[in-house]
Amino acid sequence: MELQGKVALVTGAGSGIGRAIAAAFAREGAQVIVHDLREEAAEVAQAIGGTFLRADLSDAEQTRRLGQQAVAWRGRVDILVNNAGYQHIDPIETFPDDEWQRMIQVMLVAPFLLSKAVIAGMKAARWGRIINIASIHGLVASPFKSAYISAKHGLIGLTRTAALELGEYGITVNAICPAYVRTPLVESQIADQARTRGIPEQDVVAQVMLEPAAIKRLIEPAEVADLALFLASERARSMTGGAYTIDLGWTAR
């Protein structure tokens, strides 16, 4: 098993991509900390033999405490997957100020704070993996997602900077940039996308989510988990600072 004995923290692991990554890591022998805002995620942790930690990542103090608790569980965190996130869709002129700031906190500030919490242990072990789940929207833009896109662009910048700082310690830092994945988060966007674009809900997937793609289907969470597992393994020890796309051909244009 590729991750036997490793300790992994996966944020937003109660559903979707995070859940798939947590399960894949556990199958490969990792001891997994399942983080989520929702208490129901404790069932996910129980199912994979891990532990559950709840924290609101929009709160900096709760985020710092999560990092401390994760390190304390087994004395270190070997693999950090910054996955937690959500979307709010609105034009810039009507985007609520507090919502914009909260999204930046969850998807950019929290990964920074959690990385700070685990780096010392990784340096001591001369081994570590930080995997940031960005998005194709960390590389390109779409309308009505100013906070999400700003956070994801920033997360790729953080990924690259951390990779340069930490490479000499055997720590790799990479980002995964998927297009639309079949998750509850994506499904919850359909009504908002229809509202902001003035189209029927049944047209959102074809006209918005898949229109730029060469492969006309949603990505499955397990596909993202497969790449995360590879990046966490010894096979990817020479790969760092990358922003790896799973984008159905979106950026081939």
By annotation, the residues acting in catalysis are 148
H or E element that contains 110: helix 110-125
Residues 31, 6 contacting (CB under 8 angstroms): yes
Q: Which residue(s) pair with 33 in the sheet?
A: 9, 51
Q: Which residues are CB-contacts of 184 (< 8 A; sequence separation ≥ 6)?
A: 15, 16
Two tokens, residue 109: 């500030």
At 235, the amino acid letter reads R
**Could you tell me the two tokens for 170?**
């055997």
- How far apart CA 43 and CA 233 sit, in angstroms, is 26
What is the C-alpha separation between 3 and 79, in angstroms, rounded?
A: 10
Alpha helices, DSSP H, located in the chain:
16-27, 42-48, 60-74, 97-104, 110-125, 146-166, 184-197, 204, 221-232
For the sheet with 243-246, list strands across it: 51-54, 31-36, 7-10, 79-82, 128-133, 171-178, 243-246
Pairing of strands 31-36, 7-10: parallel
Q: How many residues does the chain have?
A: 253
Angle among Cα 203, 205, 211 to the nearest 5 degrees reads 95
